[in-house]
């Protein structure tokens, strides 16, 4: 980024208009190959736009892994509004692992709380479709388990009645 031939190369100071100084320093510290500081939960969201703008692919991959790990750690404690924001962020900055982890959380949320969030419409149709399909699959699995449990209960009940009748008749 700053090693190629650019206009300000010979200047002692480069002014980045519209950039937050602290965010830019954090970005350099995580993106520079010689430093590569670890990401921090409270600052990663501030530097994602810079990672995207400056096409720092290695930092993007590391951010994707880091955010995925965070979502898996927090899992169902993430609120519906927060998971909506996370999905929008994952789509915007092209973070596929993070997006999949967020979709896995979103598919277990109460649909009305998720879909009535003001920003829900900003999630792509493809992602909303994937969340719906995953939720449908989970619903089918719950239904299958409930059906099996009911069948087993009925069989146990019938067996119990048969044993009772045998004892009663003997």
How far is 64 from 21, CA to CA, in rounded Å?
23
What is the structure's pLDDT at 3?
Answer: 55
Of 118, 67, 71, give the one whose Cα is nearest residue 92. Answer: 67
Cβ neighbours around 114 below 10 Å, total: 21
Higher pLDDT, residue 114 or 150: 114
Could you tell me the pTM of the whole model?
Answer: 0.81
Indicate the domain borders of the chain: 1-123, 124-170
List pLDDT tens digits, range 125-154: 999 999 999 999 988 988 888 787 777 777
With the CA atoms of 105, 107, 109 and 110 taken in that order, what torsion angle do they form, in degrees rounded to the nearest 10?
180
Q: Is the pLDDT of residue 169 over 90?
A: no
Average pLDDT, the chain: 89
pLDDT for 39 equals 95
Q: pLDDT digit string (tens) for 47-56? A: 999 999 999 9
Pairwise pLDDT comparison (155 vs 113), residue with the higher score: 113
CA dihedral 122, 128, 129, 135 (to 10 degrees): -170
Instruction: Please give the distance of CA 102 from its chain centroid, rounded to a whole number.
Output: 2
What's the confidence (pLDDT) of residue 18?
A: 85
Between 149 and 38, the higher pLDDT residue = 38
What is the per-residue pLDDT for 74?
97
């Amino acid at each position: 980024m700053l090693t190629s031939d650019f206009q300000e190369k010979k200047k002692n100071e480069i002014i980045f208009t519209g950039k937050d100084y602290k965010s830019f320093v954090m970005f350099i510290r995580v993106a520079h190959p010689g430093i590569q500081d670890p990401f921090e939960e409270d600052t990663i969201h501030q530097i994602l736009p810079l990672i995207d703008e400056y096409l720092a692919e290695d930092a993007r991959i590391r951010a994707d892994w880091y955010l995925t790990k965070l979502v898996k750690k927090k899992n169902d404690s993430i609120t519906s509004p927060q998971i909506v924001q996370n999905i929008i962020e994952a789509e915007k900055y092209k973070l596929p692992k993070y997006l999949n982890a967020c979709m896995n959380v979103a598919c277990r949320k109460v649909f009305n709380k998720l879909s009535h969030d003001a920003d829900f419409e900003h999630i792509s149709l493809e992602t909303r479709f994937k969340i719906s399909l995953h939720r449908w699959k989970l619903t089918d699995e719950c239904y299958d388990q409930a059906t099996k449990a009911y069948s087993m209960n009925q069989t146990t009940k019938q067996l119990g009645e048969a044993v009772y009748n045998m004892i009663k008749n003997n």
